[in-house]
Structure 1
């Protein structure tokens, strides 16, 4: 409970990393750091690997001359930026609570799962309607691991259009389409059935012309 963050499990992991890094930099002996991890039921090797990966990313940013600044941890802007970053990579791993009881249906393949018992949301008996998750395992009691709450509006802001357009019809997709309309005041584009065949023919014709030009 010490490291729990109300914004979600990903932020709890950030809290754990920050605490570990402070302990690591406090000039204590390595066995003290390992003992600290054991006392808090944390994986010492995984945290060491996280430090290595972060260092490599910083080196890449410096080589590319990208600006590096201290994170404004805890601010609303920082939380929003982290959620945007997560969505840019994990937009395919979204689930919605369909009954308010923690039964989540996956947006892409419609399987049902529940948050892992060790999730901060479960520990606080909170079930967000929409979550981005890191892992879903059917073998492990259909559990969703490492989840963070998101909003439909933020999802629609970050999701690639090609992905959303190819989602199968569902109640969740209808909710997302309504969120798009509310945020942009623009209805999702729909081609009339009589125009779909014509559009396909034009696309085929255009593709043929492009092939000729390339040759």
Structure 2
């Protein structure tokens, strides 16, 4: 934590404690991230673009959008195990070199991270599938959107 300049803080509030533990895990396991695929019950690993499922013994009751994992288990189907939910903004903050979107391959994961980054910067993508990053919020873009809607 000292090497990454993360404050050494203890919390009596369990929610903050668990959040801080998960943030610390992101710092160490940033290459072992998976993103939930739209309308599917599977995940895509960010590093290898492998489609995987949550192992039945992973311990999660829900299927969060973003997870980090410790184990990749190959049975009749590839699974990830020892999994916890993470927030995508943590990925952008705590592993900025690895999650540099300029060099990220195009796809659903990149678009999801671009939306997170735009939201963080106070910009909202004009359309969820936009790769270019044109944003609402400026008067000219709002006028342009209204004009297109009328046409």
Give the helix-richer structure, 1 or 2: 1
Structure 1 gap segments, 5+ residues each: 1-60, 62-66, 191-215
Q: Does 1:151 align with 2:87?
A: yes
Match for residue 51 of structure 2?
Answer: 112
- Higher strand proportion, which one? 2
Q: What TM-score results when the alignment is normalised by the length of structure 1?
A: 0.48
- 1:168 Cα offset (Å): 1.5
- 2:74 corresponds to 1:138: yes
Shift of 1:138: 3.1
Aligned 1:117-128 pairs, distance under 5 A: 117-121=56-60, 124=61, 126-128=62-64
The aligned runs of 1:3-82 (5 Å cut-off) are 71-72=10-11, 75-82=14-21
- State the alpha-carbon separation in 2 of the partners of residues 158 and 184 from structure 1: 16
Cα 1:74–1:167, aligned 2, differ >3 Å: closer, same or farther?
A: same
Question: How far is the alpha carbon of 1:116 from its aligned partner?
Answer: 1.1
Separation in 1 of the partners of 2:8 and 2:52?
38
Quote how far apart the aligned CAs of 1:74 are.
Answer: 5.8
Identify the match of residue 184 of structure 1 among 96, 121, 131: 121
Matches of 2:117 and 2:15, distance apart in 1: 22
Quote the RMSD (CA, aligned, Å).
2.8
Gaps spanning 5+ residues in structure 2: where?
125-131, 133-151
Q: Secondary structure at the match of 2:53?
A: strand
Counterpart-to-counterpart distance in 2, 1:140 and 1:83: 30
Q: Is the 8 A contact 1:107 1:172 kept in 2?
A: yes
Give me the TM-score of the superposition, normalised by structure 2. 0.66
CA contact (8 A) 1:100 1:129 kept: no
For the pair shown, which has the larger CA radius of gyration, 1 or 2?
1
The 5 Å alignment of 1:88-103 reads 88-103=27-42
